[in-house]
Amino acid sequence: MPVSVSTGPAGSSLDIDDGTFNARRRLVESTFINQTRFENAFLNQNWTSVIYPSYPSSTPKWGGVSVLLAALYEFAPLSMIGKESVVDQAQRIKQRFLGEMMLNTVVRNPLTQQTGNVIVTERRVVVNLPIAVSLAVLFVLSAGLIAFALLASGRRQLNLYHDPASVAALVQLTEDDTVLRNRLKIEQSISSPGNGTQIRSMRHYLRDGTISTIENKVNKQEGTVDDPLAKRDEHLPFPLRLYAGMLLLLLLALVFAAISTLFALAQTVGLYESAFTYQTDLVPSGSSLFTFAPYSIIPTLLAVIIGLWWDGLDDTFRRLQPFVTMSRKAVAVSPIIGLSYLPTYSVVSVVKALRNKHEHVALVSTAAILVQVLTVSMSALWQRADGSRPGDLTLSRTFEPRTQPFVYTLAGSTSMGAGDPTGEEIISSFYGNLSTNWLYSAALQLAYNGSEPPWSSDGWSFVPVILSSIIESDVYKNTPSTNDSDSSTSPSTTKAVNVTVTTPALRGVLDCSTITQSSNLSDWSTQWDLTDRMIWNVSKNPTGLQRGYEVNSGFDLAPRTDESRTPILARYRTLLCCRNLSSTDTDSGTSALGYWSNNYNGALAYDFDNSYVTYPRNLTMKWIRGSTAREWYSMNETYSGYYRGEYDDFRHLIWTQEPQMSALNCQPRVEWSNASVTVDMDSGRVYRYKIVDSVQELPEAFSDAYVEHDYVAPGDNATEGVFHNQYTVSFGVLFQDAMLFASDLQKFWPSGGDGESAVEDLDDQNFNIRLESKGLNTDLMSFAMYQLADGDVDAFMTADDQSCMEQLGQKVFSTLFQHFVSANVTAEGGWGFQKLGATLPAILAPTANGSQPDTNSSLTSSTDASVHVDIAVEVLQMSPVAVYLSLVILVLLILVTSFVYTFGYRLFRKLRSSFENLADVVGVVCDSERLRRWVRDHPDPKSWVERVHEHGRDDARVPLVRLGMFIGSDGMERWGIELVEAEEEEEEEEEEEDEGKGGGGGEGKGRRKSLQPGGPSSGRESTTLDLSVSEAASSAPEETRTDETTQRRANGREILRR
């Protein structure tokens, strides 16, 4: 059946479909599984060798698999009576045992190939389906239109020889269209230029590169005279009007302010409100492909609006620049008469404008290029991602590092002797809670990459702060929950919260040095003559080995004067494990032994009495490697019992060659400091930390080592042998002894009976690892080192360099300490923490030896903890690159806009037309006879754009052109483009200067001179202007015509001034 396995940072989870299982399940046939073997293994009585109850002296005796069930109820029978969960737990135990056996069988069987699918979750780009479909449709339509244009344009005759964008091209285009020109003359005389009221009543067509016009007399309409008091900028296009500039400037400023404000919020509190992260499904679907989010559209839409607006401004500047240049003063006819920026792109327009010294066009076109960049940058402003909302709170501290010892009051007897010689009542309590035992959890983390305990990281254990009150804070309540695609998720779902707080931290460390005596074989092993019948049972032992070595039960650390002896195992035992049964050699195999043990001063010492031991107590970590015999060798019962105290087991593990030892002598310490730590509010998982103060030693961790107190309980009677013993023990002492004695529980609870044996108890498998298939015998600490070294024992055996052994031992010790400190934490504290303001119990009696009594002490003075919370929310993240790029471009656009409408606006004040269509341009050249003649004489478009260098005003070869008032062929003043002479230009400039000073006496002087017949024309020939308006006018006296002309000119100027 299908099985799904998910693996992530939080661990692995397995999921099966219960419905599929129930539909396909059937009974397992007896040929598939050996049910008899399974039942015998499950009901075996050796469960007590791997399940250790705390307080064994006061715990009922459990036999067989019942001890496993009792462990789930803390070995308390009363908690199991009447509980319906007992049956369910028993079923779970048996089902789990079956699964473990089947897994073990599967692992041993040959591998078989199975098909499956692997789905890897990665960060990727998700396509928004509605937008993708819209773009695809638009692209298809665009491609179709382009294809249609390409096919249709080949059959469509434009009848154009040149691009009609320039003035010269339009002059040439309308050369033969006298109907259009005459109509525009009439229209210009009765209305403002560019009105175009009469042009609409005509029909136009192109033929052989020229335009022709047919007048429609039916629809002929008379023009109307415009208001002479029209506003100054009435003829300017919308982008050039002042209020349009103010609106554009306001839009740019608002967008700049909005982006700046949102970026500041995004960098501080975050954009997490629903107004920012809102999205909706366009189509009801469980997929995110149909999701619409306004935040992804609005910035791009604003950029498009700015772009369209600026394109209009850029188009206007490029269209009007040639006319602006001609309106300011007369300039050389080439290249201005053939100049046009409209057919070019913005980049080319910038280069072209700089070449022609048209700075305003270059500036606006450059800004138009930046607007395109702005569209891209603003479309990349946002991305919806997981973020956090910060907040600061003040919480109450509950715990602090433990400085006070534990107080044990035990019922004693006169036969017990001093202290607690077996440690049964004190140390046994640290081996309970088997489902979460600190020894197992530490070994799993070290050996199999298990998880660290809450509020712990890298060997540091941080004093926890109760965080449950955060959910009642305003910052938590006012933060929206992260959107979930699952609609069934309730709004009250707990939010993910990271909390940063400064709190004390504890760490256990070792100070180690090399033991040189490990190279002296006689200090820890004995060489035996295996053929000596006085010692060995030669008749029963294997005969292949004549001499061999045995690792002693202890290791002499002399010549050290303090703590000069240590056991090879956790206690002094005769070694039995482990032979390497997987070796290909039938007589021997490679074996390895690794154990940590306390050091002793002398041959006799009680472990749990301060009269014999001083803490912190040195310990020895050791590894022994060599070749062992495949069979045990037995001693004679008489010799073994008398000389070695072995009365129940006479087997010995013999090494066929000299074994090797590597050992370190270490002294434990407990350090503390204040640390800033960031943890998950729900799980207590540490994400990061920083030690903020200097690291100090915590002497209180070892201050009391089973210190006896003179305690007398009510009813005690020493004569009758009824009394109590009272002891104080620091948590560092308890940790060290509980860790080192865990691998040998004979003293606490012998698995083979009520007596204690001098031989290694192979049935004790609670907190040690024995693998005969590899010849490996270790406690949990050494096995963790073995796993961290990838099973390479040679890494520990280098006598000259034991840095690997020291580093791994240090890591193992710190990890075990952090699991010890983090275990068994309740509202009253824990093994490494005490309640803030805790005091020693009032029943604590004075010390028996009269030493300084314990006093209440504390490392924490403040009861308040300032915490910083980060609540997980969906936020809009702003790309700093996109933000800075957008802001810089907006600033440039604001500066360009201000400059254009402040200084560039007056350039267009002399224009009386917006030149938005063909009629506007034709209207200013319809009566320009000299300009038309020049174009007729220069039909080649290349001559229109040739750059002519002026050599002086008197150079007759340089015609000048100007947009302004001139006398037309009918004697009327017209506003348009015409060639002028240098003298006319000078007189015009003088006249403008006089008008600027308020004088009008010289008005029309230069223009009257141009009325003289035979006056100078374009510098090449004399031209007599045709002043006739009608045949009647031509027969009138010259004086009358002059007066009429003067009057018309005066009227025209009056209108122009108004």
* CA torsion, ordered 66, 71, 73, 77, to nearest 10 deg: 50
Q: Is the peptide bond before 335 cis (omega within 30 degrees of 0)?
A: yes
Whether residues 901 and 918 share a domain: the answer is no
Tell me: do 899 and 918 sit in the same domain: no
User: CA nearest 865: which of 677, 584, 628, 618?
Assistant: 677
Same domain, 940 and 886: no
Judge if 215 and 312 occupy the same domain. Answer: no
Domain contains 801: no
Paired tokens of 339: 């100049």
H helical segments located in 388-473:
438-448
Q: What pLDDT does residue 374 have?
A: 93
Distances (CA, A) of 167 to 88, 178, 198, 914: 98, 17, 21, 14
**Pairing outcome for strands 776-779 and 588-598:** parallel
How far is it, in rounded angstroms, from Cα 201 to Cα 212?
14
Asked, for residue 208, whether it belongs to a domain, the answer is yes
992 and 1042 share a domain? yes
Token digits of residue 375: 């569209």
Whole-number Å distance between alpha carbons of 958 and 571:
118
Whether 892 and 956 share a structural domain: no
Determine the pLDDT at residue 181. 79
Taking residue 541's Cβ as centre, other Cβ atoms within 10 Å add up to 19
Residue 302 lies in domain? 239-381+879-908
- How many residues comprise the chain? 1058
Beta-carbon count within 10 A of 990 CB: 13
Give the max Cα distance, the chain.
168
Residue with tokens 């008032």, as numbered in its chain = 965
pLDDT for 399: 93
Cβ neighbours around 477 below 10 Å, total: 9
Task: Tell me whether residue 703 is in a domain.
Answer: no
In a domain, 599, yes or no: no
- Predicted confidence at residue 952, as pLDDT, reads 44
CA distance 62 to 73: 13
Domain-located, residue 595: no
Q: Would you tell me how many other CB atoms lie within 10 Å of the CB of residue 398?
A: 17
Local mean pLDDT, 10-residue blocks, the chain (1058 residues): 72 78 83 83 79 63 81 79 85 88 79 78 71 88 91 72 79 80 72 55 77 67 47 70 89 94 82 58 52 73 91 87 84 82 82 86 90 91 78 92 90 51 75 79 92 92 92 85 46 75 96 90 92 91 90 82 78 89 76 93 70 85 93 85 71 93 94 95 93 94 88 75 82 94 76 63 87 92 95 85 90 96 89 90 83 76 89 82 94 92 77 80 84 84 68 57 83 84 62 53 40 37 34 40 49 47
Q: Does residue 368 sit within a domain?
A: yes
Contact 361, 321 (CB under 8 A): yes
In this structure, are 302 and 287 located in the same domain? yes
**Structural domains in the chain (count):** 3
H/E element, 597: strand 588-598
Q: Which two tokens stand for residue 842?
A: 């009032």
pLDDT for residue 961: 85
- Note the helical H segments in 174-297: 178-190, 242-267, 274-277
Instruction: Give residue-wise pLDDT tens across range 359-403.
Output: 888 899 999 999 999 999 988 888 777 777 888 999 999 999 999
Residues 298 and 179 in one domain: no
DSSP 904: I
Cα 944 from Cα 904, distance rounded (Å): 27
Other Cβ atoms within 10 Å of 478 Cβ, number? 11
User: Can you give the pLDDT at residue 1037?
Assistant: 44
Q: Which residues 6+ apart lie within 8 Å of 228 measured at CB?
A: 1054, 1055, 1058
Mark which of 60, 77, 108 sits at the end of a domain: 108
Structure tokens at 910: 């002399």
Residues 171 and 83 occupy one common structural domain = no
- Identify whether residues 286 and 326 lie together within a single domain: yes
How many C-alpha atoms does 933 have within 13 Å on its Cβ side? 14
Distance in angstroms (rounded) separating the CA atoms of residues 525 and 654: 11
Is the domain of 897 the same as that of 920? no
User: Distances in Å between the alpha carbon of 540 and those of 527, 530, 865?
Assistant: 20, 12, 72
> Cβ contacts of residue 887 below 8 Å, gap of 6+?
256, 259, 260
Tell me, yes or no, whether 12 and 49 share the same domain.
yes
Last residue of one domain, picked from the residues 108, 140, 159:
108
Residue 263 domain flag: yes
Q: Confirm whether 359 is domain-assigned.
A: yes
Point out the domain boundary residue: 79, 108, 137: 108
8 Å CB contact between 368 and 317: no
For position 561, what pLDDT does the model report? Answer: 46
Distance, CA of 994 to CA of 442 (rounded, Å): 101
